[in-house]
Structure formats: structure tokens, C-alpha cells
């Protein structure tokens, strides 16, 4: 039905040297690329388990065929449109609402261990409040969502993206507009080698331990030794 909730997943095309640059600086571009691919597959698995329909917004604009070949032709795809990440997110929300979605949440691909229950919670909260946001431990946010009648595109303007002030500034903008927003639990993006170590540590005995990312890491013990993260047991 057109008024079903919708998850928007922002993904970069898997080009070597163009993803996970901070991990690549430590682990090398080949390993960083494989990690990124596994991150995307794991977060897609969580989305699928949540039961909420998903649309993949990819970047760059000409990567549609590559994305379908990688993630499957059964999924919905659209290119990201805009000059920066804020404009691209705002346009993705507008497109979803124009097509009739009533509740929309947007996530990225840097949160491979985000559980389906948290996605379900985020969508459910939009039945009770106009917006939802998930703060990341690096000062940004890993999820943001709106109802069609409470969408606030100004949230995405004037931000200094990829800084530790993004979440605080966004909350400030909600307050200035006197808009209610429901705050989800903190989660940790995986951008740095320290983030990767934290991912491994917190998931030694979790459901995510059986995921693609953890399996790939288990095959890269020499890499972990050289990156000084071998103290984490897989």
C-alpha cells in the first residue's frame, strides 16, 4: 500500500579507494572495500528482518546497474540527488512522501550491527511523534525519520556534516521549530579502527556474531594483528 512505512538506505557504490577511507588508511583499500560490502549486506539483512519495505538510494548517480548487479534486481533503487549529503537526504524524503509514504526513516551503511528491533522501534515511534532520531557516539546521527505531515527539510540545511556537532545542532533546530522528536538509544558508527574494534568486542556473543562482517573479520587475523586489534577474540 502507498501509505506503508518506508526505510531509505543510503549507500555508496563499492568502488575501491572511495569507501571507508579512515579504515583504508590503516587496513588497506582492498580490506576496507570488503568490509564496506559486508557492512551493507549486514544492514540490509536487518532491514529485511524488520519487515519494513526499503528503498536504496545510491551514490554516485551513474551506479544503478552496478548496485542492481551487487544487491539484486528485486530491490528498489534511486540515485541520490543533491550537492551535499544534507540536500540528498532532504530530496530522498520528499520523493518518498510524494509517492505516498506516511512514515519514513533514513539510515546509512556505517551501522552494520543495527538490530531489526531498533528499526521497528523507530518506525513505530512515528505513530506517536512527528520525528525520530538516533544519536551516534561520534556526535552525528545514524537514523532520522519523519511522518509525511511533520517533515522538516530545514533540519538538513546549514550543517557541518561529518563533525561531532551534527546531532546537537539537529536537536537545537527541532527545538527552535518547536517540533517534538523521539530520541533512540545511542549507537556506534564504524568509521575508524577503534570503531571496528568496538564492533568486534560488543558482538562476540550477539546475534551479529553470525553475520557477514564478523565472518570476514575472522578470516583476516593477520590484518588484525598488523592493525593492533588482535586482543579482541572472534
Is residue 1 situated within a structural domain?
Answer: no
Q: How far apart are CA 171 and CA 85, in angstroms?
A: 18
How is residue 87 written as a grid cell?
Answer: 540536500
100 — alpha (psi -120 to 50), left (phi > 0) or beta?
Answer: left
Is residue 146 situated within a structural domain?
Answer: yes
Q: How far apart are CA 20 and CA 36, in angstroms?
A: 7
Is residue 233 situated within a structural domain?
Answer: no
Cell 522528536 belongs to residue: 181
* pLDDT score of 233: 46
Residue 184 sits in which domain range?
6-226
Number of domains in the chain: 1
Rounded mean pLDDT, 178-204: 95
Q: How far apart are CA 145 and CA 26, in angstroms?
A: 34
Per-residue pLDDT of 17-67, as tens digits, reads 999 999 999 999 999 999 999 999 999 999 999 999 999 999 999 999 999
Rounded mean pLDDT, 185-212: 94
Per-residue pLDDT of 98-151, as tens digits, reads 999 999 999 999 999 999 999 999 999 999 999 999 999 999 999 999 999 999
Q: State the CATH number of the domain containing residue 168.
A: 3.90.550.10
Average pLDDT, the chain: 93
* pLDDT score of 228: 57
Q: What is the pTM of this model?
A: 0.93
C-beta of residue 182 within 8 angstroms of C-beta of residue 125: yes
Confidence grade of residue 4 (pLDDT, cut at 50, 70, 90): confident
Amino acid at each position: 500500500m502507498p501509505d506503508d512505512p518506508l526505510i531509505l538506505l543510503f549507500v555508496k557504490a563499492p568502488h575501491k579507494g572511495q569507501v571507508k577511507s579512515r579504515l583504508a588508511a590503516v587496513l588497506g583499500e582492498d580490506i576496507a572495500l570488503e568490509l564496506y560490502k559486508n557492512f551493507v549486506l549486514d544492514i540490509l539483512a536487518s532491514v529485511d528482518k524488520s519487515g519494513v519495505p526499503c528503498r536504496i538510494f545510491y551514490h554516485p548517480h551513474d551506479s544503478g546497474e552496478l548496485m542492481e548487479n551487487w544487491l539484486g534486481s528485486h530491490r528498489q533503487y534511486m540515485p541520490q540527488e543533491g550537492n551535499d549529503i544534507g540536500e540528498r537526504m532532504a530530496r530522498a524524503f520528499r520523493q518518498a512522501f510524494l509517492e505516498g509514504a506516511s512514515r519514513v526513516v533514513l539510515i546509512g551503511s556505517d551501522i552494520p550491527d543495527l538490530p531489526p528491533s531498533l528499526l521497528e522501534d523507530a518506525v513505530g515511534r512515528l505513530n506517536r511523534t512527528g520525528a525520530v532520531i538516533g544519536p551516534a557516539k561520534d556526535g552525528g546521527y545514524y537514523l532520522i525519520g519523519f511522518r509525511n505531515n511533520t517533515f522538516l527539510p530545514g533540519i538538513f540545511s546549514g550543517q557541518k556534516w561529518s563533525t561531532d556537532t551534527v546531532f546537537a545542532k539537529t536537536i537545537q533546530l527541532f527545538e527552535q521549530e518547536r517540533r517534538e522528536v523521539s530520541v533512540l538509544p545511542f549507537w556506534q558508527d564504524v568509521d575508524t579502527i577503534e570503531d571496528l574494534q568496538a564492533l568486534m568486542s560488543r558482538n562476540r556473543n550477539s546475534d551479529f556474531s553470525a553475520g557477514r562482517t564478523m565472518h570476514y573479520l575472522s578470516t583476516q587475523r593477520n590484518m588484525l594483528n598488523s592493525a593492533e586489534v588482535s586482543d579482541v577474540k572472534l
